[in-house]
């Protein structure tokens, strides 16, 4: 389970009213750690998600878990920046990058010992990314299938289930967006997907850590 720290989103706005003035990424990270998260995803984009690179520092100081920087990364400078701020992994969105730019960022990430979560939203993007799965080293790449349709902003968990057969190595697959219930996790497991990234459904709760604990306990 990759548990996400998110203040707001373009589709939902501010996820809880108190996050306007009282938002503590370190406290949320500790809740997630105690609840059994394997890693923390941290939104750092300021314009659309009210994030901050400083959140990575706060999370790293609070918990001994790997930290994923989630942002619109399109430039090598941002990869260096991610390493400087203490991230262990970065998000690369296939729809935001040419194939050549994606490969260049993956190579640089490997050189800086950063894992890449390469995210796709469509069949076309998956076909673009698929030849490079596991490049340059298998241990430095995860492949994320985002269940949100970027044109309608609707979320459908079946999107992962439809695309999963197009990926030979399901051990690196991550399902993202729209995962809310133990049944959702069970459906993913049955299809061979063992990693889920969950953010909004947890962050909308008064206690995100307790929400994660309940979700994991009920799906065990």
Residue-wise pLDDT for 43-59, tens only, equals 999 999 999 999 999 99
d(CA 147, CA 175): 7
Query: Which of the four pLDDT bands, split at 50, 70 and 90, describes residue 138?
Result: low
Domains and CATH numbers, the chain: 2-219 (3.20.20.70)
> Quick check: 136 pLDDT over 60?
no
pLDDT digit string (tens) for 83-106?
999 999 999 999 999 999 999 999
Specify the pTM.
0.94
Query: Which of the four pLDDT bands, split at 50, 70 and 90, describes residue 140?
Result: confident
3-state secondary structure of 11: coil
> Quick check: 131 pLDDT over 90?
no
d(CA 121, CA 147): 7
pLDDT attached to residue 11? 86
> Quick check: 112 pLDDT over 90?
yes
d(CA 202, CA 68): 17
Tell whether the torsion through CA atoms of 20, 154, 205 and 61 is positive or negative: negative
């Amino acid at each position: 389970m990759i548990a996400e720290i998110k203040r707001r989103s373009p589709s939902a706005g501010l996820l809880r009213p108190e996050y306007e003035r009282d938002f503590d990424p370190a406290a949320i990270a500790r809740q997630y750690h105690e609840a059994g998260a394997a890693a923390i995803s941290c939104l750092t984009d300021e314009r659309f998600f009210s994030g901050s690179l400083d959140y990575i520092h706060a999370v790293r100081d609070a918990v001994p878990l790997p930290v994923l920087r989630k942002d619109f990364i399109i430039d090598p400078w941002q990869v260096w920046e991610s390493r400087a701020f203490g991230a262990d992994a970065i998000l690369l969105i296939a729809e935001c990058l040419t194939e050549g730019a994606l490969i260049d960022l993956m190579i640089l990430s490997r050189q800086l010992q950063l894992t890449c979560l390469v995210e796709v939203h469509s069949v076309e993007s998956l076909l673009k990314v698929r030849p490079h799965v596991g490049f340059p080293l298998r241990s430095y790449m995860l492949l994320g299938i985002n269940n949100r349709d970027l044109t309608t902003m609707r979320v459908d968990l079946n999107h992962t289930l439809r695309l999963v057969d197009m990926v030979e190595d399901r051990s690196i697959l991550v399902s993202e967006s729209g995962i809310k219930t133990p049944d959702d996790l069970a459906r993913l497991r049955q299809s061979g997907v063992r990693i889920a990234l969950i953010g909004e459904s947890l962050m909308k709760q008064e206690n995100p850590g307790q929400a994660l604990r309940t979700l994991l306990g009920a799906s065990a």
